[in-house]
């Protein structure tokens, strides 16, 4: 690995490798079938003394690594939520890697800071977020939620906990029973204690019940506890339930509580005007996060975090040791002051590449296709009566369960569905995941993969139906 001419040759080999990978992606099992340690045991235990040939490296990539990959960009990847990429995003990431810039402060790469500011402004317009909000790219929604809870804590304590540490208050944080585990992680890290995370009951469609939230807050206030933050979810991970933001925002306003919104997956749907109802009440929110790296065709990682007050955010995190002082301090956005990490990748570039390549209309068309595929799946799978829907289809996710004729108990059905999931995934043809809704084992299929088509979804339906008939035949 020395000269630029060797690099030219290897770079073109890698580009060809990438093109072939995408051309042949259907040939791979979607979910890797390797056993634990299978990859590890093929790797030399010692690093090489001397540099090796790039060709042998590529050979080993094909031989050792690829069989151990689960192919998230496979059109038959229907598990979890997607971690979408797209060709413009890949190209943007390649240039980010080539520039190899550390974008911690404005001065360390002015264009990175200014492009980030403008991309966040574009996203604000595209999603209908208030123009007064300020945006910053974080690595993940988990980090953004931690930032929100820390900023809420500092804002409420007049920035005293940062300097003095805790002095006896018992803070309370609220979210629904269906909220993502990152909320609990943030509460633990922020020193609030997971027993002070209050999980509010949800209704028939798994959305937070605002009356229950208000009751819990009142109870805590009466007991001398300090309500700190409510985390509302727009699109829960289990079933994409949408918490009633407008009602929640009235409660947080009334009690002066920080309102953070976790729209990690479904926030992308806000680029469609028909989904804007979800953010009624947003002007009373303090912070909002969504993940373009889930459903906007931007490579992981790229979480868009928006705050009402950039002063509070910066005040919570900013520290300027001598070696980081620059002549533009205070004049420009130094994004290392806007979160936890100092060093930052140039992530705005891939966003710029994708937004310009697709255009708003191109992105809208993709999302609408994905949503219609989910509805199509839901209609088809329930036709015979052997499957039932476990939650409304709000976006591009369907939660369903196999319920064959006969009189199986809940527990038996749980086992049956678990076996069905393993059977389907072990086939390597498609990959689904699961959750529990009302305690019942539930299969999840998301139809948001960048290149998913109607044919892929039809094949998935057939495969699921066949696997289900097979499994009941064995059961009897
Ligand atoms: C995926 C998801 C998260 C976690 O996202 P990361 O970016 O991986 O931290 C948080 N909340 C919800 C609702 C999610 O769906």
Cα first-last separation, the chain: 61
Question: pLDDT tens digits for 225-234?
Answer: 999 999 999 9
Q: Is 176 in the pocket of ligand 1 (CB under 6 A)?
A: no
> What are the tokens at 359?
């255009």
CA of 142 to the centre of ligand 1 (A): 6
Q: Is 180 in the pocket of ligand 1 (CB under 6 A)?
A: yes
Report in angstroms the alpha-carbon separations of 301 from 99, 107, 144, 209, 292. 17, 23, 12, 32, 8
pLDDT of residue 164 exceeding 70: yes
CA of 289 to the centre of ligand 1 (A): 9
What residues contact 241, with CB distance under 8 A and at least 6 apart? 176, 178, 202, 205, 206, 207, 233, 235, 391, 394
Q: Respond yes or no on whether the N-terminal peptide bond of residue 301 is cis (omega within 30° of 0).
A: yes
Report in angstroms the alpha-carbon separations of 333 from 34, 37, 322, 352, 453. 46, 45, 18, 18, 41
Written out in words, the top-level CATH class of the domain with range 354-475 is alpha beta
Tell me how many degrees the CA angle 259-264-268 measures, rounded to the nearest 5. Answer: 110
The sheet that has 387-389: what strands, in order across it?
A: 387-389, 397-402, 440-446, 433-437
CA of 76 to the centre of ligand 1 (A): 21
Question: Which CATH code for domain 101-345?
Answer: 3.40.640.10
CA of 264 to the centre of ligand 1 (A): 5
Mean pLDDT of the chain: 96
What distance in Å separates the CA atoms of residue 274 and residue 172, rounded to the nearest whole number?
A: 34
Question: pLDDT tens digits for 43-92?
Answer: 999 999 999 999 999 999 999 999 999 999 999 999 999 999 999 999 99
Looking at the chain, which residues constitute the CATH 3.40.640.10 domain(s)?
Answer: 101-345
Protein residue with least CA distance to atom 12, ligand 1:
264
Q: Is 116 in the pocket of ligand 1 (CB under 6 A)?
A: no
Check: CB of residue 115 under 8 Å from CB of residue 352: yes
What distance in Å separates the CA atoms of residue 265 and residue 372, rounded to the nearest whole number?
A: 17
Q: Is 178 in the pocket of ligand 1 (CB under 6 A)?
A: no
CA of 290 to the centre of ligand 1 (A): 8
Looking at the chain, which residues constitute the CATH 3.90.1150.170 domain(s)?
Answer: 354-475
| Dihedral (CA of 178, 184, 186, 187) sign | positive
Percentage above 90 pLDDT, the chain:
93
- Report the atom number in ligand 1 closest to the C-alpha of 144: 9
> What are the tokens at 406?
């006969």
pLDDT in the model for residue 408: 84
Q: What's phi and psi for 231, nearest 5 deg?
A: -105, 110
Q: The tokens 């072990």 sit on which residue?
A: 426
- Report the atom number in ligand 1 closest to the C-alpha of 301: 7
pTM of the model: 0.96
Check: CB of residue 78 under 8 Å from CB of residue 430: yes
């Amino acid at each position: 690995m020395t000269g630029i001419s060797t690099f030219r040759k290897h770079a073109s080999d890698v580009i060809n490798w990438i093109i072939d990978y995408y051309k042949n992606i259907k040939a791979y099992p979607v979910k890797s079938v390797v056993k634990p340690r299978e990859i590890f045991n093929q790797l030399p235990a010692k690093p090489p003394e001397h540099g090796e040939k790039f060709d042998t490296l590529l050979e080993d990539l094909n031989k050792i690594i690829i069989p151990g990959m689960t192919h998230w960009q496979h059109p038959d990847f229907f598990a979890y939520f997607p971690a979408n990429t797209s060709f413009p995003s890949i190209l943007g990431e390649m240039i980010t890697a080539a520039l190899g810039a550390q974008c911690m402060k404005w001065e360390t790469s002015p264009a990175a800071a200014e492009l980030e500011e403008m991309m966040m402004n574009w996203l604000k317009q595209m999603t209908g977020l208030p123009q007064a909000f300020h945006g910053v790219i974080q690595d993940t929604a988990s980090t953004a939620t931690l930032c929100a809870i820390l900023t809420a804590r500092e804002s409420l304590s007049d920035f005293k906990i940062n300097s003095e540490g805790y002095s006896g208050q018992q803070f309370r944080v609220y979210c629904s029973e269906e909220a993502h585990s990152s909320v609990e992680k943030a509460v633990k890290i922020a020193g609030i204690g997971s027993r002070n995370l209050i999980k509010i009951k949800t209704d028939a469609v798994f959305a937070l019940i605002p009356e229950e939230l208000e009751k819990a807050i009142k109870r805590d206030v009466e007991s001398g506890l300090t309500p700190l933050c409510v985390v509302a979810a727009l699109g829960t991970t289990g079933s994409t339930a949408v918490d009633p933001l407008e009602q929640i925002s009235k409660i947080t306003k009334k009690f002066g509580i920080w309102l953070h919104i976790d729209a990690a997956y479904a926030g992308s749907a806000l680029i469609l005007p028909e989904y804007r109802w979800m953010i009624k009440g947003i002007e009373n929110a303090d912070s909002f996060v969504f993940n373009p790296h889930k459903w906007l065709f931007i490579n992981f990682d790229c979480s868009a975090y928006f705050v009402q007050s950039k002063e509070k955010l910066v005040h919570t995190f900013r520290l300027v040791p001598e070696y980081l002082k620059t002549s533009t301090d205070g004049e420009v956005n130094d994004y290392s002051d806007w979160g936890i990490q100092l060093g930052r990748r140039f992530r705005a570039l891939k966003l710029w590449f994708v937004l310009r390549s697709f255009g708003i209309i191109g992105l809208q068309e993709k999302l609408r296709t994905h949503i219609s595929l989910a509805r199509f799946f839901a209609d088809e799978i329930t036709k015979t009566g052997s499957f039932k829907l476990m939650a409304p289809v709000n976006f591009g996710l369907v939660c369903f369960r196999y319920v064959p004729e006969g009189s199986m108990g809940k527990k038996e059905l749980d086992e049956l569905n678990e076996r069905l999931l393993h059977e389907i995934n072990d086939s390597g043809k498609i990959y689904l995941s699961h959750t529990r809704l009302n305690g019942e084992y539930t299969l999840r299929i998301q139809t948001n993969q960048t290149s998913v088509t109607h044919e892929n979804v039809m094949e998935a339906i057939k495969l699921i139906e066949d696997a289900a008939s097979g499994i009941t035949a064995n059961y009897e």
